[in-house]
Amino acid sequence: MNDLVDLVLEQARVAWPGAAWQLEDVARRLASVDPQLWSEPSAADRRAELLLAWACLLGDRDAVRHAEVRYIRDVLPNLRALDLAGAELDEVVQTLRVALFIGAPGGEPKLARYTGRGALGGFVRTVAVRLALDRKRARQPPDLGELARRLITPLSDPDVDYQKELYTTRFTEALEAAWARLPMAERLLLRYHLLDQVGIDELAVIYRIHRSTAARRCASARQRLVAGTRAELGRAIGVSTRTVDSILRLIATRLDAGPEPLPIEPA
């Protein structure tokens, strides 16, 4: 087994020299792979695809770029055949990138399950179609109730409990209305950042942009959501901006669902 690990490690470093290959990591991944994969001449393509998947899991940018061009683009016709187009298609593709390269919070990337038994393209297509079908079943606005609950301070004073309960409902409705008014691109970004709690570094990988750019886009989108929520709340209950600020101080202190809290009160 040690000879096989050394052999695979050497091939991996030749195929993707920019990846941070480690002997222990290769040995661990080989434990779930059929050893004959490296002895069968006809399995050369599967070996190459397996090394590509492992390089992506190590965060190698060249490998990720190659996987996107070679495999993710290939599934677009399949997604369009499922009646996905425009912004909805873009959202599924972005979700596919997260699923393959990053994984859900607390989970592993889907690529970690690829063992080279079949074509990588078929594996990616299966993941994409399942995500698309899930999306079709959930064609509705996200439930922002959980996000709203994160923003509400705990009830503590019996004298203001009724006011808090009343304004909490209005606040949630205002948050939903403000969310609906955001551009699709900002809704998608905030869905990752606030609802799925994807970090700035991961967002930079997903969108293939610098970390500072990802941070600026998140801050801008959250500022727009906060401003929209304040405006919607003011219109809903017919009060002045100062009164809205007092209500927000009563029920919510900050938009703290993301890694970098953003005050919801005006500076």
Q: What is the CATH number of the domain that holds 212?
A: 1.20.140
Better-scored residue on pLDDT, 153 or 112: 112
pLDDT single digits (tens) 218-237:
889 988 888 888 888 788 77
121 and 151 co-located in one domain: no
* Measured distance CA(163)–CA(37) in Å, rounded: 66
Show the tokens assigned to 151: 């923003």
> What is the Cα 108 distance to its own chain's centre?
13
38 and 90 co-located in one domain: yes
103 and 186 co-located in one domain: no
Whether 31 shows a pLDDT value over 90: the answer reads: no
94 and 38 co-located in one domain: yes
Determine the structural domain holding residue 225 and report its residue range: 145-263
Mean pLDDT of 38-54: 91
Residue finishing a domain among 107, 137, 167: 137
Q: Are 171 and 148 in contact (CB under 8 A)?
A: yes
122 and 10 co-located in one domain: yes
Whether 91 shows a pLDDT value over 80: the answer reads: yes
Query: Which residues lie across from 262 on neighbouring strands?
Result: 255
Whether 60 shows a pLDDT value over 90: the answer reads: yes
| 3-state secondary structure (DSSP) of residue 144 | coil
157 and 238 co-located in one domain: yes
Residue finishing a domain among 109, 137, 165: 137
160 and 237 co-located in one domain: yes
Mean pLDDT of 172-179: 86
Mean pLDDT of 187-206: 78
- Using a 10 angstrom Cβ sphere, with 0-12 exposed, 13-18 middle and 19 or more buried, the burial of residue 90 is middle
Mean pLDDT of 1-28: 89
97 and 210 co-located in one domain: no
Whether 247 shows a pLDDT value over 60: the answer reads: yes
Share of the chain above pLDDT 90, in %: 24
Show the tokens assigned to 65: 């770029």
Give the total number of structural domains in the chain.
2
Buried b (16+ CB within 10 A) or exposed e, 16-48: beebebeeebbbebbeebeeebbeeeebeebbe
pLDDT single digits (tens) 153-172:
554 555 555 556 667 777 78
Mean pLDDT of 167-185: 82
104 and 48 co-located in one domain: yes
Residue carrying structure tokens 């927000």: 248
Residue finishing a domain among 75, 103, 137: 137
* Measured distance CA(79)–CA(102) in Å, rounded: 21
130 and 169 co-located in one domain: no
DSSP state of 19: S
